[in-house]
Every structure is written in structure tokens, then in C-alpha cells.
Structure 1
């Protein structure tokens, strides 16, 4: 796990070295163990290293192939590197790293080598003989890769701040991405909040051949879901899921540093810990952040799992005030604005301080095994599609009446649904995930119109791809693909990366093993519908988890944000709201009205709707962006 930077097309090696040093310095927190650079006319590549596999100096990057032809910078882990190393046994290895296996694989397979990798990665490789450059990002988007093109120059980095530190990127707010952020508290790739800065899409790569840049996809859920479940019984599918998940966990336990697992006591983290315990040679180290207040704490569930699997458990007890004190640091660590993130920052901080450099997480379980309420909602809306055939005028009257009689977030969304011309997934799903409705955003932005809904675009692109290739995911898998391609990749994974790497902590996610993902996406709905919480997953695990964990209420971090923003965080929030209102990008009067409605206890204005605006202004100030 590391951070990578690069500059392509800058002829002056002196200028490139200076710029690369600044970029490496900006992401030093990602890799405190080593720093390296490679600079020749037209190519500059740099890396900050967090040593996980082969801790010796032999793992230094940029790494050159044995013949000196290939130059590589790499962020992430290739979990099956040992198997690949045995297959590629003609290469003269000099290290025990997975990095060198990428070089060996490239020598044999070229760009097709990526299909052989099981891991999380973002890497850039230069073939000196062919003068070809490639930038790759992993299938599920676990590791980030940002880029910026200016005339004949291309810059890339693991973080936005790496690009900004170059001095070559204009610090200008991307106003076109603002509606996306206001809708979903995140900006969906490939866009970012900075004009001209893009994020390479998951499962994609950039090639620069003979000076021409091109972008292509090498993997997508729609094209790569498995057909292996066809004709299989439920018992066989459960067996396959258990086997794939067990292998995914085992692959992610290879490391040369102390590691453990996040343990909340929920189904996903408990499953990871239980499977780790079955294959570990030593007691698994587990970490839980708990609270003294019973309403916020998952301590008893985590303790029950720790006892069942005899883990070396560390319970880190925080008061809400302890958490509150860390919020300014969490905001400072934010590389790209997000309505979420402080929770991951706190968990990562205390885990790293406990001596852990790598941790496994249960992230992805909800998206893959229908763990969110949205899966049931989308199923119901699909079943009642006939309702959208009723006269639109009648439905609109009903929606407005409901919204007026009982103002709330739920009634506002139902009003939008009733106003939809049809209830196909690409129309209904974006509304269920939207934070601020479009009719209100027109008032807040003072615009006559808004950019097209990016989440809707992502779903429509997905359905178009399925139609073109005569494939069709099951309904629940379509929702999974929507969750993966929107909320998970652009909020959860981005937050996990930026907040864990702020503490030089690597987080691995077994549920996003691509072989497991491909298989589960192909499972028929009848085997996956959550008649009980994450039914297919819990059934596949058999007696691994106690019923107390399976049937427990879903909590996550439940913190008194509503109270904090009216009391302890009031000064911070009030200052940022006023400052944001003065930027000229939002309707200042409407913005302040929203803030005061929240302070007055308006049920239609939840804390998260205001907090994302506080975060946005803090990030814009921190990065000195101009409107």
C-alpha cells in the first residue's frame, strides 16, 4: 500500500524533479517508510511506500524490470502474487514483493496481465523500448487514481492533493460537479470537485501510445458476472459462496506486518473475523470502537464474536466528546469532500495507534448481499410498476398532498416518485439515494436548470451495456451494481482510502474479491432476497455466526450529530455556512434559511443535509479553490 505520482510530457528533467518532489511530499502520509523517484526527459514517476510485503529496501519504487526496460509505480496489493510467481518462474526475481510480479506478468502478457491479478491496485507502467505508458485501476475501484491533462502534459496521483501540489493544476472549483455533490454528498467518477481533475473509472485503464492518449474498460459487473449458478441448487450455491469468501479472506491475510480486523459485531465484520480465525496460525487481533452510552455502542455484539473466536480483542472506548475532538483533524485529512468520513478516520487512528499496519474490513457485504433497505424498496417498486401507468396528473396531486400534509424527507421522495413518468430502476433508484431533491436544489443554487443526474446516467449506461451485449443481471444484482457503482465506490471506498491512509493504515476488503463479486451477481433473486438479514450470506456461513448477531438491529456509528451541530459544533458550522454563502455559487439567502430551518428543528432538514455543506466549504478553503 502506497501512494504514486507521475508527470508525462514535461521535457525539462529539472522542472519535473521539482514538481515530483512536491507531489511526493503532499502524499507522504500514505507512505512513511520510503520515497522514490525516476526522472528522464518526458517521464517522471514517484512513489511513497508503506511496507506491507517484503519490508526490505528491495521493495523500493519506482521499480525497474530485470532488463531495465519497464518502469513501474504501484499502489495496492496483488493477493495472488505467490501463485503468479510460480507460474512466471522464468523471470529472474530479486525481491519477495508483489510489485516485481507485476513486472514479470507484464513481460509475458503485456496489458492483458491485469486479467490475471486478484487484488486492489492503481499502477503506472512505462515500456521504454516501445515508449508506451499505461495507467490501470482495479476492477472495483478500491484504490484511487486521479489525473489531470494540460496540453501535452498528463499528471497522475493517488490523491487530489498530490495533483494540486504540482503547481500545474488550476485551483478552480468544478461548478458542474456541484449539483452532483449536493444531490449525493459525493462527486461521482470520473468527475471531481476540481475543474479538469478526473478520476480514472474502476476497471479502466489509460494508454499513451505514440503520444496519443486513449481510455478503455477491461472489466465491468455487467460484462463479467458469472453464469456458474445456472442450474445449481441452493445448497450448491451456498457451498460456492462459502468457499469463495473463505478464499477471499485467506488471500488477504498475507502480510509481513502486524494485522487485524475491524469488528463492529455486525454480520459482515463478524463473518470476516470468523473466517480469519479458521485459517489463522495465531489468534486474530480485532479492534472495536465502542461508546459508554448504550444507545451508541455495539460493544456487546463485538465482545460476543471476540469470545466465540478467541480473538485478541482491543476495545477502544470513546465518549462522544472524544470523537468530537477528532473532527477537525478528520476534516483536515479529507482529500476530496464527502458527507461522510470522520467515522473511518477515528477507527483507523485508534487501530494504527494499537500497532496495526493492515486491517481487514467487512465493507461491501451490504452491497453484495442485499443488506440495505433499498433492495427491498426497489423490489416493491418493480412489482408495482403498473402504478406508474395511472394518470400522471392524478399521481402528482396525490404526491403534493402527501408532502403538504406530512412534510418529511420520506414524503418528499414519495412525491418525486409519484411524479416520475415510469418506475424503471434508472428513474426510481437515484431518488432513493438522493439527499436534496432537485426542486429544492434549483432554489439553493439559484439556477434555472441543473446538470443531468449522474447516478441516473450510471444506471442508464449499465442497462445500455447489458442490452448491447445481450446480458441481463437479476433485479437484485442490478441494485447491487448500482450500489457498487455509485455509493460504494464514490463514498465508502473513497472515504476508507483517504481516512485510513491519513494514518498509513492499509484496509483490505474480502467482500470485494472480484471472483466472489462476479459469482454473487449471477445468483438468482429467489436465493438472495433478504427475507432475513443477508439471507444468502448467513445461510452460506452455516453455524459460523450466532443468531444473536444475525438478527441484531443494524446500527453502525450512531452519534449525536443533530445535537453537536446545534451546540458543540455550532460555531464551526455557522462560520462555514456564512463563508459558503459569500462565494457566489449558492443562493446565500436560501442557504441561510436551510441552516436556520435545521436549527429550528424542521423535520425535513436532517443534520446530514447541512453537514455536507459545512464539509464542502471547509475543503474549498483548505485547498484555496476559486469559484
Structure 2
């Protein structure tokens, strides 16, 4: 787990070493353990930085006048192979290929054995070297062998070619800025801004999407001309011609339900896949822990992990003030049942409120709420953990969200939509409930459900022309018109594409990295995902029980109270805070936003009057974001 940065001078070599150093320095939290650089023009020249452990070469300060075609910067958080042999940028034995890599390859030992059997030699015990030699042997096809989370770049100094790839689910971030003269990429948007080679500006289409869906739908961002590389994609840049090719190497396996599976076979398949995914993610040369709420996903993962590592720390967050948010009772009962090494940490409002500026910086884009991920990350750091397992993915794969319950209603309303139009004025709540009858595709239905603002509301709020977002989800994630076995499967697909990859992964990874540790996600293992898509929908929801098959396999691991608990999620009392602890803070920042005249101030006043906590906080968050990243005042 690290931070990577690159500057590619497309038209002619240029002296950008100070800019590269600034990019890398801005990601020190992502990699406090080591630092390195490589500049390439006629030859590869390595440099070290202030935090480099083994200072064998020149300091990067000596490269101020050095003209280069390709520059790599790297910050390392040491997880696998804690020796100096894992230093990056790393080259192969012939110094033909150079790599910078952020993430983990969990099956690296198996791939390494395969490479050794065909004659490769290794000088380290790192997964980085496995990626490097895999690319040397198999090229882009190596991506299909990797089980892990990653964003990496490899420079082929003979072909003068750059290869950049991102993992299947987009767990590790990768952003880039491309002009005629330069291609700049990094693990964070802030690193690109800090290069001073890019001047931040608002991307209004991205901000529109942000207001509607709580996050701009990747590859779009809220920053003009900053693009995210999509999950399961790679870029190849021919530096002889500057031609850039982007391709997708994996897709979520829709239409693979196996209707011959029995309920028991389905449960066994999921359990076997989950155990393997969890055990893979225990591979580390540092201590590994788990986040354990009272829900079934994280408790099941924690218990499975404890079977291999009995001393593993399981961390639970508790609230001193808002006890309705607590899941301590359920988590504790599971911990007692399985004799887990359970750690409970209590937090209160001040832990969030005093860190708002850091949270905004960490998120990098506006967000409609305050997330507990920041506090969870702080708890992991306080427990001296560098690796923590997380239960994300279960709700998306097995139908744990309320949107899945709305499918039957939508199907019925579609049948009677012409009759509904003839009905006289109805109660507003009823009218709102049947609005979904007008959406004819599952993509439109999904987009409507996850909407904070509809297009009409956004057009009233924004002072700039607003592009329709009704088909954004389907156009972005299903441009080729993939068919689905059923609508339940379609929601699985869109939740993985939009909600997990953009919403959950962004906040979770950025918060974890702020505190210099990595989150690992067994239920986002691509083999586990492929197994879950084989399970017939009738076993994912049965007798109106959501996540049925997952709950059935969890029964042997967790306390009954976890299964009976009403879903809470990592919610925070944002509505209470904006009316109390954050009242002055909220009003001050909204007033400042109004002075910018970027939005319709009358509409801002309407939102304040509505007391819609999420819409109000979205405005506050936008002001904080503009002030932090965009404003030159």
C-alpha cells in the first residue's frame, strides 16, 4: 500500500523533478516508510528522498536541472517484505522495466512459484517484483493472474512505452491529467494539484453528478480535466507516437446464475470462496486486524479470520452520545462466542467535528454527509495496525439495501403507469412513492433511487447549464447494453459499479491512507464476486429475508443477535449536528458560498428552510472543497 506519482513529458524532455518531488511529498501519509524516484531520458537514473532508507544514489534535489522523458515518484507503506529489497521504483534484472506499485497482490506466492518454474530469479520477497516479472513474461495478460487491489505503472525503456493498470473493483485509486505536452498521474488528486503543473478548476458536469449521486461517476471527477482510470482498465502510452490506448480487461460476470445449484450448494460455494478470500488477505509481514460492527458481514469475516489467526484484533466503534447508532452488544456477543481479541473504542461528536478540515482534504471532493470512516481509520492507527479487514461488499452482492425491496413495487407500478397518470391529486408521500413508475429501465430506476437531487432541482440550484443525469448510471457503466438475468442482478451490478467503486472505496481508502494503513476487502475478491453471481437470486432473497444465503452460512460463526439486528450502517447524526454543534459553522460556510455566486442563492435559502440535512451539508461540503482546492482567494 503506497502512493505513486508520474510525470511524462510527451513532446520533449523537461526538468520537472521539483514538481515530481512535490507530488510525492503530498502523499507522505500513504507511504511514510520509504521514498524513491526514477528519471529516464537516455538512461534510467534513480534518486532518493528525505525518507529513503537506503541512500545509494543522488538526492532528488540534485535533479533540478535534469531533463527527463519519464519520471516516477513513490512513497511506501511497508506491508510485504519489510527489507530494503522492496524499495521502489523497482527494475527487473535487465533494467528494461521499471515499476511503481500501490496495493497488494494476495496470490503473489503462487505466481512467483510459477515464474520460478520457468526460469525467473528473484532478489526480494515482495509482490512488486512478482508483478514486474509477470508483466515481463505475459504482458497485459498478467492482469488476469492477479488477485488483489492495485494501481501500478510500468515503464518499458526499450519500447519506450508506459503501462498503467487498476484493479478490478477500483479499490486503489489512480487519477491523471493529460495535455498535449504532459501526462501526469497519481494516487490522489491533491498530488496532481501540488505538482503546480495543473491549475484546479470546477468541472461542472462532475459537480452536477456529485450533487445528484453524492459522488461524480468515474471516470468523471469534480475537477476540470482530472480523470480517474476506471476499475478493471489499463492504459498503454506509446511514447514514440504519444498514442494512448485504454482497454477493459475484466467485467462483472452477469448472466452467470447457475439455476441447477441447490440452496446447500449455494451456501457451500459462498463459504468456500469467502474463507479463501479472507485467508488471502491475512498475508502480511505486519499485524492484521479487522473492523467488526454488529452486522453479519464484518462479524463473519472476523470470525473466519480468527480461525487462522486466533490473536487477531477485532475493532468495534461505539458512540457515547448517540447510543442508537451502537452495534456494540451484537459485536461483543460474537466476540465472546468465539473468544476474539475484541477492542471497543468509544467516540463522541467532538472527534468528528474537530477534524472536519482534515476530512474534507481527505475526501478531495464534496460529500453529502460526514462518514465514520475517518474515525474508524483513526482507531486502527491508534491500535498500531497497518492492515485491517473490512466487510464491504455483502450488501451489494446479496441485496442488503432497501433498493432491492423496491423492485416488486416498481415492477407493479410500471404495469399501471398509464392508469396512475389519470389519478387525481394524491397525498405528497403517495405521489413521491409512485414517481418510480415513470422509469422504464433498471438503470433509470437505480439512478432515481440513489438521487439526492433530481435534474429539475439541480437546474434550479446551479447557475450554469445542467446536463441531464437520468441515464448517467447506465451510460457510464453499461454502455454496451449488457443484458441481465433479472433486475435483482442488475442492481448487484450497478451497486458494485457505482456505489462500491465510487462511493465506498473512495472514502474508505482515502481515510485509511490518511492514517497510514490499508483496508482489505474479502467480499470484493473477484473470485468471491464471480461465485456470488452464480448464486440464483431466489437464494439471495427468500421469504422476504435479504442476504438469505449469506445469513445462512453466517449462522455457524456469529451470535444470533447479529442476524436479528436491524441494519444500521455507519451512520452519524448529521441532522442533529447541523442544528446544534455545527449550526454556526454550517450557516457561516453557506453564507460564504452565497458570496461566490456560483449557485442560485434563492434556491440555497429554500434548501436551508427545508431542513434537509444532507442537502444542507452538501452545500457546506462544497464550500469547504472550493476553499481548500479551487479558490485562489
Which residue number corresponds to residue 61 of structure 1? 88
What does the per-residue CA deviation read over 1:177-219, in whole Å, with 9 as the maximum and x for residues that have no partner? Answer: 2211111221110111110000011111111124201211111
Which residue number corresponds to residue 78 of structure 1? 105
- How do residues 107-186 of structure 1 correspond to structure 2 at under 5 angstroms? 107-186=136-215
Separation in 1, partners of 2:408, 2:81:
48
Report if aligned partners of 2:413, 2:436 keep a CA contact under 8 Å in 1. Answer: no
Separation in 2, partners of 1:269, 1:329:
27
Which residue number corresponds to residue 18 of structure 2? 18
Separation in 2, partners of 1:227, 1:333:
38
Residue 533 of structure 1 and its aligned partner are, at CA, apart by: 3.7
Which residue number corresponds to residue 601 of structure 1? none
- How do residues 468-507 of structure 1 correspond to structure 2 at under 5 angstroms? 472-507=484-519
What does the per-residue CA deviation read over 1:207-232, in whole Å, with 9 as the maximum and x for residues that have no partner? Answer: 112420121111121xx347373422
Pick which of 136-145 and 564-573 moved more. 564-573
Which residue number corresponds to residue 436 of structure 1? 453
Separation in 1, partners of 2:485, 2:4:
35
Residue 478 of structure 1 and its aligned partner are, at CA, apart by: 0.8
Which residue number corresponds to residue 249 of structure 2? 218
Counterpart among 575, 578, 590 of residue 591 in structure 2 = 578
Partner-residue secondary structure (3-state), 2:4: strand
Counterpart among 617, 622, 625 of residue 628 in structure 2 = 622
Separation in 1, partners of 2:502, 2:215:
7
Residue 542 of structure 1 and its aligned partner are, at CA, apart by: 4.4
Separation in 1, partners of 2:166, 2:370:
22
- How do residues 464-613 of structure 1 correspond to structure 2 at under 5 angstroms? 465-467=480-482, 472-529=484-541, 531-598=544-611, 605=612, 607-613=613-619
What does the per-residue CA deviation read over 1:298-327, in whole Å, with 9 as the maximum and x for residues that have no partner? Answer: 111111121122121111112333333333
Report if aligned partners of 2:586, 2:620 keep a CA contact under 8 Å in 1. Answer: yes
Separation in 2, partners of 1:225, 1:83:
28
Residue 556 of structure 1 and its aligned partner are, at CA, apart by: 2.3
Residue 412 of structure 1 and its aligned partner are, at CA, apart by: 6.9
What does the per-residue CA deviation read over 1:304-362, in whole Å, with 9 as the maximum and x for residues that have no partner? Answer: 12112212111111233333333343234332332245310111012111111110000
Report if aligned partners of 1:340, 1:491 keep a CA contact under 8 Å in 2. Answer: no
Residue 130 of structure 1 and its aligned partner are, at CA, apart by: 1.3
Residue 460 of structure 1 and its aligned partner are, at CA, apart by: 4.5
What does the per-residue CA deviation read over 1:407-427, in whole Å, with 9 as the maximum and x for residues that have no partner? Answer: xxxx67436424x2x432122
Separation in 1, partners of 2:431, 2:181:
48
Residue 464 of structure 1 and its aligned partner are, at CA, apart by: 5.3
Which residue number corresponds to residue 5 of structure 1? 5
Separation in 2, partners of 1:320, 1:308:
31
Partner-residue secondary structure (3-state), 1:15: coil
Residue 14 of structure 1 and its aligned partner are, at CA, apart by: 6.3
TM-score under structure 1 length normalisation: 0.91
Residue 120 of structure 1 and its aligned partner are, at CA, apart by: 0.4
Structure 1 residues 225, 386: closer, same or farther in 2, change over 3 A? Answer: closer
Structure 1 residues 332, 130: closer, same or farther in 2, change over 3 A? Answer: closer
Structure 1 residues 181, 462: closer, same or farther in 2, change over 3 A? Answer: closer
Counterpart among 417, 430, 436 of residue 417 in structure 1 = 436
Pick which of 319-328 and 146-155 moved more. 319-328
Separation in 1, partners of 2:571, 2:256:
39
Indicate yes or no: 2:468 matched with 1:452. Answer: yes
Structure 1 residues 542, 596: closer, same or farther in 2, change over 3 A? Answer: closer
Separation in 2, partners of 1:276, 1:171:
43
Structure 1 residues 427, 392: closer, same or farther in 2, change over 3 A? Answer: farther
Structure 1 residues 342, 326: closer, same or farther in 2, change over 3 A? Answer: farther
TM-score under structure 2 length normalisation: 0.91
Indicate yes or no: 2:261 matched with 1:232. Answer: yes
Partner-residue secondary structure (3-state), 1:71: strand
Separation in 2, partners of 1:183, 1:535:
31
Structure 1 residues 284, 622: closer, same or farther in 2, change over 3 A? Answer: same
What does the per-residue CA deviation read over 1:468-515, in whole Å, with 9 as the maximum and x for residues that have no partner? Answer: xxx534322210111111122111110001111110110000000001
Report if aligned partners of 1:122, 1:137 keep a CA contact under 8 Å in 2. Answer: yes
Report if aligned partners of 1:341, 1:495 keep a CA contact under 8 Å in 2. Answer: no
Report if aligned partners of 1:149, 1:196 keep a CA contact under 8 Å in 2. Answer: yes
Separation in 2, partners of 1:226, 1:475:
11
Residue 11 of structure 1 and its aligned partner are, at CA, apart by: 6.8
Report if aligned partners of 2:370, 2:574 keep a CA contact under 8 Å in 1. Answer: no
Partner-residue secondary structure (3-state), 2:545: coil
- Structure 1: gaps of 5 or more residues: 599-604
Indicate yes or no: 2:392 matched with 1:386. Answer: no
Separation in 2, partners of 1:413, 1:8:
51
Separation in 1, partners of 2:84, 2:582:
45
Partner-residue secondary structure (3-state), 2:16: helix
Structure 1 residues 255, 412: closer, same or farther in 2, change over 3 A? Answer: farther
